[in-house]
């Protein structure tokens, strides 16, 4: 094992670019762990957890680089990729004629030629100032940053409404405007469906299903996961609905959200009923349509037939075995949807994002019953890249669950597209092969399209060849995993 630790003093990079750097270094063959991040308190703690000592005097304005690889050759390859990505050419100089890059969002907007949107990706405590600067420059704003105080979100959205602008976020991971994906997004064909999303992976699932059915989208406007909470009150959802209603290319609007506050959901329904464009509400929760059903209803409303959703199967049919259902997710909404489906058949599902307060995943030893974990939750991404970029933490847990004789079946998602890992299936397939024939059945929800760079069908084949059952529909994957548990006869909470 070889390792390297370096601190580059006074070198700052934003979190989005560092996510890409971390993803590229982690993907190098032979690299076991990699952290490329600013030396914040959280990242220094993460460094300590990796077994590296904290470098003296490192602070939040210093770039931290830590790599652990199988040998010196792999470490050398990792260093080469690191420098190649860090030294990638910067954006072209502004059209103002000056070679000095702008120092603020407002000066960047003034130097641009018709820019209408700013993407803010800075630590959450600093996002308010940058987003406000963008609004004052007359721009719409996508706030990719998470851990932004809710009072800052409310203030930004009130200012945006007064100025006739839209704030997408905070914690907005998926946007597609005019065919251009921002954040985590999939490449889908243009079409008549507009999407308003208080959910990133939920929007991705809906768009991928519509694409698979031969349809497409006009725009997908993310609004942030808290927009339909009582505190935020659907401020951006209403604005996004109005914008899509005015768009001549949008014939139908679908609003996707994790379980919303009931009063806010009712207000959104009342507002939607005043629009000229038909609106379908895809609010996850008990008794509500899942995302696959929502996609089907949208297709029917457009006069399109929906297909049998794609699935890929291993050469040997998985054999059910007694045990509990273990869900390991990158996408919070996909985890929510799976829990709703599983709980209706199996009873309470423990989770770090529980459907009910008393279903919270307990601290300490792992529970013996059914549980599902959202590895993309803020608490698990503080100081590290999202698992769609760096799958290391989830892969470690996958190995644990596959080796546990109490596991009856494993359910997980794999997401591809812009921003995501270049080849997420390979890591999962490697874990399945390492677990061997004694491992429990594995069901995968694969979210992507045939136009994504990672190649949907190649990813599906890699997973199926390693023994997983693979479904494009997350709801179908969840139902299959539940069926495996029920076939084994282990249905109760103490399974």
Give me the numbers of helices (H) and strands (E) for the chain, helices first please.
16, 19
Q: So what's the pLDDT on residue 320?
A: 92
Element (H, E) at 296: helix 291-301
Q: Which residue has the tokens 């079409």?
A: 191
The ranges assigned to domains in the chain are 2-86, 105-301, 311-488
Each residue's pLDDT tens digit, 8-61: 998 888 766 787 788 789 889 999 888 898 887 767 767 776 788 888 888 888
Q: So what's the pLDDT on residue 22?
A: 83
pLDDT level of residue 166 (50, 70, 90 thresholds): very high
Does the pLDDT value for residue 65 go beyond 50? yes
Does the pLDDT value for residue 62 go beyond 80? yes
| Residue 330 phi, psi (nearest 5) | -90, -30
User: 105-301 belongs to which homologous superfamily?
Assistant: Succinyl-CoA synthetase domains (3.40.50.261)
Segment 464-486 shows an average pLDDT of 98
pLDDT level of residue 94 (50, 70, 90 thresholds): very low
pLDDT level of residue 363 (50, 70, 90 thresholds): confident
Does the pLDDT value for residue 371 go beyond 80? yes
What is the 8-class DSSP label of residue 278? -
- Distance between CA atoms of 478 and 466, rounded to whole angstroms? 19
pLDDT level of residue 495 (50, 70, 90 thresholds): very low
For the segment(s) 2-86, the CATH number from 3.90.550.10, 1.20.1420.30, 3.30.70.60, 3.40.50.720 is 3.30.70.60
Tokens of 217: 């989208």
Helices (H), 52-148: 72-86, 105-111, 124-136
Residues 6+ apart with CB under 8 A from 134: 105, 106, 109, 118, 120, 140, 141
The burial class, CB within 10 Å (0-12 / 13-18 / 19+), for 470 is buried
pTM: 0.83
Q: So what's the pLDDT on residue 458?
A: 97
pLDDT level of residue 131 (50, 70, 90 thresholds): very high
Residues 6+ apart with CB under 8 A from 332: 199, 201, 225, 258, 353, 374, 376, 377
Q: So what's the pLDDT on residue 61?
A: 84
Q: So what's the pLDDT on residue 100?
A: 64
- Distance between CA atoms of 341 and 354, rounded to whole angstroms? 13
Each residue's pLDDT tens digit, 224-260: 999 999 999 999 999 999 999 999 999 999 999 988 9
pLDDT level of residue 129 (50, 70, 90 thresholds): very high
Q: If you count them, how many residues does the chain have? A: 495
Q: So what's the pLDDT on residue 490?
A: 60
For residues 379 and 237, the model is more confident at 237
The alpha carbons of the chain give a radius of gyration, in whole angstroms, of 22
| Residue 329 phi, psi (nearest 5) | -120, 145
Instruction: Kindly report which listed range (212-216, 384-388, 453-457) carries the lowest average pLDDT score.
Output: 384-388
Q: Report the percentage of the chain scoring pLDDT > 70.
A: 94
pLDDT level of residue 355 (50, 70, 90 thresholds): very high
Does the pLDDT value for residue 159 go beyond 60? yes
Do residues 178 and 207 touch, judged by C-beta distance below 8 A?
A: no
Q: Which residue has the tokens 């339909």?
A: 228
Q: Report the percentage of the chain scoring pLDDT > 90.
A: 72
Each residue's pLDDT tens digit, 385-406: 789 988 888 999 999 999 999 9
The reply to whether domains 2-86 and 311-488 share a CATH topology is no
Decide yes or no: CATH 3.40.50.360 for domain 311-488: no
Does the pLDDT value for residue 98 go beyond 60? no
For residues 352 and 1, the model is more confident at 352
């Amino acid at each position: 094992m070889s390792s390297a630790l370096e601190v580059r003093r006074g070198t700052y990079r934003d979190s989005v670019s560092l996510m890409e750097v971390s993803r590229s270094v982690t993907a190098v063959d032979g690299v076991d762990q990699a952290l490329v991040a600013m030396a914040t308190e959280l990242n220094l703690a993460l460094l300590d957890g990796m077994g590296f000592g904290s470098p003296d005097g490192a602070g939040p304005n210093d770039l931290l680089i830590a790599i652990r690889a199988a040998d010196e050759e792999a470490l050398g390859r990792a260093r080469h990729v690191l420098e190649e990505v860090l030294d990638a050419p910067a954006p072209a100089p502004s059209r103002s004629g000056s070679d000095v890059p702008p120092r603020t969002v407002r000066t960047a907007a003034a130097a641009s030629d018709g820019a209408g949107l700013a993407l803010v990706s800075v630590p959450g405590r600093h996002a308010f100032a940058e987003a406000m600067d963008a609004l004052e420059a007359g721009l719409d704003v996508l706030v990719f940053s998470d851990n932004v105080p809710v009072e800052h979100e409310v203030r930004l959205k009130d200012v945006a409404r007064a100025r006739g602008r839209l704030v997408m976020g905070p914690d907005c991971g998926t946007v597609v405007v005019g065919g251009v994906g921002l954040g985590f997004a999939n490449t889908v064909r243009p079409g008549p469906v507009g999407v308003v999303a208080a959910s990133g992976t939920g929007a991705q699932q809906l768009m991928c299903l519509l694409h698979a059915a031969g349809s497409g989208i006009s725009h997908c406007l993310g609004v942030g996961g808290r927009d339909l909470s009582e505190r935020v009150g659907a401020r951006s959802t209403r604005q996004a609905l109005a914008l899509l209603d005015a768009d001549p290319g949008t014939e139908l609007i679908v609003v996707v959200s994790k379980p919303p506050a009931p009063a806010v959901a009712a207000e959104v329904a009342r507002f939607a009923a005043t629009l000229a464009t038909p609106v379908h509400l895809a609010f996850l929760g008990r008794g509500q349509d899942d995302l696959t059903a929502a996609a089907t209803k949208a297709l029917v409303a457009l006069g399109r037939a929906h297909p049998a959703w794609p699935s890929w199967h291993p050469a040997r049919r998985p054999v059910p075995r007694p045990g509990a259902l273990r869900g390991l997710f990158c996408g919070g909404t996909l985890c929510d949807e799976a829990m709703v489906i599983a709980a209706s058949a199996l009873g309470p599902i423990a989770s770090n994002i529980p459907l009910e307060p008393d279903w919270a995943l307990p601290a300490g030893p792992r529970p013996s019953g059914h549980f599902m974990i959202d590895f993309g939750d803020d608490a698990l991404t503080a100081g590290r890249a999202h698992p769609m970029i760096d799958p290391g933490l989830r892969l470690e847990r996958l190995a644990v669950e596959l080796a546990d004789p109490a596991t009856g079946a494993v359910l997980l998602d794999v997401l591809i597209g812009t921003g995501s890992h270049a080849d997420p299936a390979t890591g999962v397939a490697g874990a399945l092969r390492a677990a061997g024939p004694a491992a429990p059945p594995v069901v995968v929800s694969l979210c992507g399209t045939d136009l994504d760079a990672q190649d949907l069908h190649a990813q599906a084949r890699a997973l199926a060849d390693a023994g997983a059952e693979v479904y494009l529909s997350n709801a179908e994957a969840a139902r299959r995993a539940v069926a495996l548990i029920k076939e084994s006869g282990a249905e109760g909470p103490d399974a």
